[in-house]
Each structure stands twice: as structure tokens, then as C-alpha cells.
Amino acid sequence: MSTQTIAGAEVELNDEGFFVHPEQWNEAVGAVIAREAGIDPMTDRHWQVVRYMRSQYLETGSAPSIRTLGKASGVPVKELYQLFPKGPAKLAAKIAGIPKPRGCI
Amino acid sequence: MGAAPIEKVSIIVSKGSFDGIYPALIMANGARMDGIEASLFFTFFGLDAVNKARNEHVKVASVGNPGLHIATWLGGVPGMSAMVTHKLAKRMEELDFPSIPEFLELIHDSGAGLYACKASVDMFELTKADFIDEIDDIITVGEFYEQAAGGQIIFT
């Protein structure tokens, strides 16, 4: 666990870089995390996924599965993997400032 | 943590039962979700998973399956296998697991390769037309090893 200042905001991240307190997040912070993770630039399509992830988490208390993400985020599975080649669900969760998704699907 | 991360897996599916197929699909999809390169190789009865006429009708074995914890004679009652499968599939759907056909489409869209084993295809007298569109190719065991090079091989 470490406290860092990203884009002027003080945020607490766990050892894997996920937010401990999702409320410390804002989009400027998300953009910096995305760039550090090699996603540059963050396009509208990236943001669509990240915003959907975050809203689902805030609504339901857990991150959506890749299946739900592909069906409901407006970005199909193929494109999800093009946008986030290192794994869409986890990377999008990191950028969205929510905990690491723990589902097996 | 600490050890070098797995970067590539080649998963062999040799069984044609519900519980013989799902674990491999979950592992392949899970690999892709973590950015791990993955491919699936279907052989013997595992080919049913990618056989268009059969992959919607894959069943849990209710006879000779001690995991079900039912009496042997009960397992053989007509319709038992279908009922057990239905119950399990329903529970999995609640947990957001797709059906086998949908799961294969998801895995294929995630960038994993899907291959049918040539020896088994010949043995069952099948052709590429018998398989779902997501099957990339029918390959020999030698070609399987070539494409599995540098990764882990998992036999299920």
C-alpha cells in the first residue's frame, strides 16, 4: 500500500496499483494512470469502457465480467482487447479507480 | 509473485462432457483476461465442444459420476443427465458464465486460437463444415507443438 500524488490528487494505491478508496479518483488521475500503463492516448472508446466499469462498480459493488463488459459497455469484446491488450477488465479497473475485479469470467 | 509470469498457454480439451469442457474454457478465457496468450486444441470427444450440431447439447454424466452424490441406479433414470446439466447450467448463467457456444465466441473474440485435432477429425469422419466458425484450423499434433512453443501446455 502506498500514498501517491497523481495529477495533484493524493491517492492510496495497493501493491498492484489498484485504488484503495475509489472516491479519491477523478478523470485526470485516471488519465495519468492510463499513460503509465502504456495507454496513450486514452481515446473516447477507452473512456467509454472505463466510465462504464466505474459506474457498474459504484452501482453494484463489483466490477462487471468481461462478458457483461462486451455486451453492455457499447464496446465489443474484440475491441476491448484491442484497446487494453494486457487484459481489459483489470486494466480498465485500475484506470477507473476501482478495486481489482475478482471474478473468474 | 516473484516468479516469472506465465505468458502463453495451450490448453487441450479431450473430453466431451459439460464438466470436461467448461474448466478449459474458463482457463483460456481467464488467461486472455490477464493478457496471457492462449489457444485451445480440441481432440477426441473434446471435439463436441466445437461441433455445431452438438455443442448446445453437451451434458454432465449422471452415470458413474460419484461427484453428483446420487445413487447409481438413480443416475441411470432417463432424463437424469439432462436435468443435472440444466441445473448446473442455470446456476452458471446466474454467475454470468455463458453457454458453451457463446463462451467459444467470447474466447475467440478475445484473440485466442481455436484448433481441432486432425487425427480425431479423421477418426470421427468430420470436416471443417461440421465446426463452429470460430475454429481457426484443423491441425496435426506436430503443428500443435509448433504453435505451443514457448508456453505452457495444459491437458484437460
Question: pLDDT for A11-27, tens place per residue?
Answer: 999 999 999 999 999 99
Task: Please state, as a whole number, how many other Cβ atoms lie within 10 Å of the Cβ of residue B82.
Answer: 13
Contact B110 A104 (CB under 8 A): no
The pLDDT-based confidence of A9 (bands split at 50, 70, 90) is: confident
Chain A to chain B, count of Cβ pairs less than 8 Å apart?
Answer: 43
- B107 three-state secondary structure: helix
Q: Which residues of A touch B106 (CB under 8 A)?
A: 66-67, 70, 77
Range 33-92 of B in CB contact (< 8 A) with A: 33-35
Beta bridge partners of B137: B115
Q: Which residues of A touch B33 (CB under 8 A)?
A: 66, 87-90
From first to last of its 156 residues, what are the pLDDT tens digits of chain B?
578 999 999 999 999 999 999 999 999 999 999 999 999 999 999 999 999 999 999 999 999 999 999 999 999 999 999 999 999 999 999 998 999 999 999 999 999 999 999 999 999 999 999 999 999 999 999 999 999 999 999 999
pLDDT at position A82 is: 95
Backbone angles phi, psi at A44, to 5 degrees: -60, -35
ipTM of predicted complex: 0.89
A104 is catalytic: yes
What architecture is domain A2-96? Orthogonal Bundle (1.10)
Cβ atoms B151, B10 nearer than 8 A: yes
Report the alpha-carbon distance of residue B49 to residue B136 in Å, rounded.
Answer: 14
The pLDDT-based confidence of A7 (bands split at 50, 70, 90) is: confident
Q: What distances in angstroms separate CA B144 from CA A44, B2, B33, B102, B119, one per listed residue?
A: 39, 30, 23, 24, 12
Report the alpha-carbon distance of residue A100 to residue A91 in Å, rounded.
Answer: 9
- Per-residue burial over A36-62, b if 16 or more Cβ lie within 10 Å, else e, is eeebeebeeebbebbebbbebbeeeee
Q: Which of A8, A15, A59, A104 is catalytic?
A: A104
The structural domains of chain B, ordered by start, are 9-59+99-155 (3.40.1260.10)
Report the alpha-carbon distance of residue A60 to residue A98 in Å, rounded.
Answer: 12
- B8 three-state secondary structure: strand
Q: Which residues of A touch B34 (CB under 8 A)?
A: 87, 90
* Residue B110 touches chain A, beta carbons under 8 Å: yes
* Residue pLDDT, tens place only, A45-84: 999 999 999 999 999 999 999 999 999 999 999 999 999 9
